[in-house]
Structure 1
Amino acid sequence: MFTKSNKSTKSPEGVVILDYTDLINNVDLYNEIEEAFGSKSHCLGILLVKNLPEVYVENRARLLRLASVFASLPEEIKEKTVDEQSYYKFGWSCGKEIFNGKKDTLKGSYYGNPKYDYPDATEEELREFPMYCHPNIWPNEDLPEFEKAFKDLGCFIIDIGKLVARACDSFVLTKLPKAEPNYLERIIDESQTISARLLHYFPIQTMNQKNDTDTDDIDDSWCGWHTDHSSLTGLTSSMFVDERDPAYPEIECPDNQAGLYIKNRNDKIIRVIIPRDCLAFQLGAAMQLASADNLRATPHMVKAISSDIKSDIPINVIARNTFAVFMQPSLNEKVGNITFAEFGRKITKNTY
């Protein structure tokens, strides 16, 4: 039996905020899920979760700092973790992904499966879908603390994501009474192929894609417009760091226009702020399919710090680190009328 929440609110920009205790207490969040992930023109396809267990803040700070530590390692060390066979979806990836028709050298990413070092996959699946089934690659020799930090934060986010998916299940059942109860939660809980991505956005001076002949808008200069193809994506707040200091201290972003932007159903572009002690969850295209469009994903992008911004800390030493967990179904799980393998294959191969 549901209880009723009186705690949910919205952020100043209109993002629905859920309370962690409401999620674990199985509170009725129908209105909140509809407001966040529904089809109304103002829906943003994202929500925040507040009042998380205290360990989250520590785990976030530990891993996001390590993004700068790893990115600063010599190229020959990072190269040991690069894996072409998986379409660069395991280990380190920089300059391999295509956004807006160009190789993306503005950020580096470290990919891994937080739950399983060796996903339960057949030899055939491993050959056909290495982007989902490849064994994890860890820099244990050169950065031994990295693996544990990655898994600790990743598994924490998955646990919260399952609670959000449970609330989504309750909403979908009111629209599709014949739907499988707890389906959206189950496909995350049972998935062997969840992927996490630790992102390091390089300081401004490394942005060498723009030149005198480039006339493209640089609004998407850190990450182009795209929609996630997972079921649900868990996101930390960004950590901006001063890379002059080898301790990589966290600083405030000097540009109040930089960061995550989302396009709502009405094509209005909204800048979304994720507080340091909160997690964000974005709906992905796979969950949109699985819910028969009762839940809907939205395009989003990341805007870089402006090269014209005035800052006490030079912008050419400020990096942005963040962590995303793509909670996607197992390969053989149906999303709508197709399997996730069929759905994801063409997307991944068209991106690299």
Structure 2
Amino acid sequence: MATPEQPTAVSVSLQQLEDGSVSLETLEQAFGPASLGVIIVGGLPGEFAALRQRLLSYSSYLGNLPQEELTKVERPECKYDVGWACGKETLADGRYDTLKGSYYAQPIHNAELEEKARRLYPACVEMNSPNVWPDDSVLPGFEHLMEKLCHIIVDTAALVARNCDRYGVAKLDGYKAGTLEDIVRTSVSTKARLLHYYPPPADVARPDSGVAMSDDDWCATHHDLGALTGLTSQMFVDEAVHDPHKTKVDSSGYLPVLPELDAHPDPTTGLWIRDRSGATTQVHIPRDCLAFQTGESLQRITRGAFKAVPHFVKGAAPGKSGKIARNTLAVFTQPNLWEKVQDDMDFAKLAQLTIDAAL
């Protein structure tokens, strides 16, 4: 019997998304039941590449700040979903994940909607609390860089959403035009996560170079809660050569861009997706592109036509990790807390059910 062909990531251009020329078949190949649940978008605005490189360089600078500076931007009262977090999550084997640092911020601002969220859901502090930023003397321009890149990602996600809405109107009875695009463009619940994966010490490095064992040691297998998750390509930085502790502002007024490796010495390091059959596929995002993957809210909004994608991040095999860090940015476009994702279930309830299931 022939082995079923593994799905691959679908690629489209920003122009195709703008003019609506992405076929419904292509959307189904990207997000449907037999897909990887990922679409890669090229042809992005000219400023994207430089913004990506500079912000992901800041991920190394941020992750290597003195602990007293990081403590200033921790928010335990917000369940560490605002500002800096490290060592608060658990991996598949129950260990606390100390190899990944995260910086959370909400890039979409609307005073009226933010006040509504606080009034209707006062207990949802992780979604209702203001952003916090390191002092500009510590990370000059960080807030500006992060919000600017996030806005490009959200604007691109909105175009992906517009095309998903075309699919919904054509294929799903009673689907309301503009449903997903409106969520992506206007929701103040959208959450950005700048990630710094620390170089793993030898005693916790992955014990093999294959997929089967300890494959999610840099980030445990999960699927996202929101609608569409925008992802930049990963940046690998050799911090033994380019020490993020030893730097100062350059002529641009920012901390300098760190040189990135062409690839990790262990080619299996990075983002992997577990498809519907249980097979795993590594996904490579070109540096000048964005990827968008499906989450739980999109699956429910499309009544299962588009599936949430399980994924994980694999660290390096022993002897290949060195002092190489991995930096990336994920932007989770999530419905407003009161928006319905399925029948009488609003996003706040879905989020709470997901959190309770993880406890």
Q: Same fold (TM over 0.5)?
A: yes
Tell whether 2:95 aligns with 1:99: no
Deviation at 1:209, TM superposition (A): 8.8
How many angstroms apart in 2 are the aligned matches of 1:160 and 1:339? 25
How many angstroms apart in 2 are the aligned matches of 1:329 and 1:123? 15
Deviation at 1:120, TM superposition (A): 3.4
Task: Return the letter of the residue paired with 1:192.
Answer: V
Q: How does 1:115-126 map to 2 (within 5 A)?
A: 115-116=108-109, 119-125=114-120
Matching residue within 260, 281, 284 for 1:250: 260
Q: Which moved more, 1:223-232 or 1:124-133?
A: 124-133
Structure 1 moving runs of 4+ over 6 Å: none
2:18 alignment counterpart: 24
1:331 alignment counterpart: 337
1:113 alignment counterpart: 106
How many angstroms apart in 2 are the aligned matches of 1:102 and 1:198? 22
How many angstroms apart in 2 are the aligned matches of 1:207 and 1:163? 44
* Aligned residue pairs, count: 330
CA contact (8 A) 1:120 1:192 kept: no
How many angstroms apart in 2 are the aligned matches of 1:144 and 1:136? 16
Deviation at 1:175, TM superposition (A): 1.8
How many angstroms apart in 1 are the aligned matches of 2:353 and 2:307? 20
List alignment gaps of at least 5 residues for structure 2: 1-5, 244-255
Tell whether 2:53 aligns with 1:53: no
Name the SS of the counterpart of 1:128 in structure 2: coil
Alpha-carbon distance change, 220 to 34 in structure 1, aligned in 2, over 3 angstroms: same
CA contact (8 A) 2:223 2:295 kept: yes
1:139 alignment counterpart: 134
Matching residue within 161, 165, 177 for 1:165: 161
Deviation at 1:125, TM superposition (A): 4.4
List alignment gaps of at least 5 residues for structure 1: 1-11, 310-314
Deviations 1:64-96 (A, max 9, x none): 000000111100000100001111111000001
Deviation at 1:284, TM superposition (A): 0.4
Task: Return the letter of the residue paired with 1:18.
Answer: V
Tell whether 2:274 aligns with 1:274: no
1:316 alignment counterpart: 322
2:54 alignment counterpart: 62
Alpha-carbon distance change, 192 to 123 in structure 1, aligned in 2, over 3 angstroms: closer
Return the TM-score normalized by structure 2.
Answer: 0.87
Deviations 1:201-260 (A, max 9, x none): 00022865989xxxx932111001101011000000000001131453211211111111
Task: Return the letter of the residue paired with 1:289.
Answer: R
Alpha-carbon distance change, 26 to 123 in structure 1, aligned in 2, over 3 angstroms: closer
Deviation at 1:336, TM superposition (A): 1.0
How many angstroms apart in 2 are the aligned matches of 1:220 and 1:50? 28
Deviations 1:93-134 (A, max 9, x none): 000112323321110000001122963345444631111111
Identical amino acids, percent of aligned pairs: 38
CA contact (8 A) 1:229 1:284 kept: yes
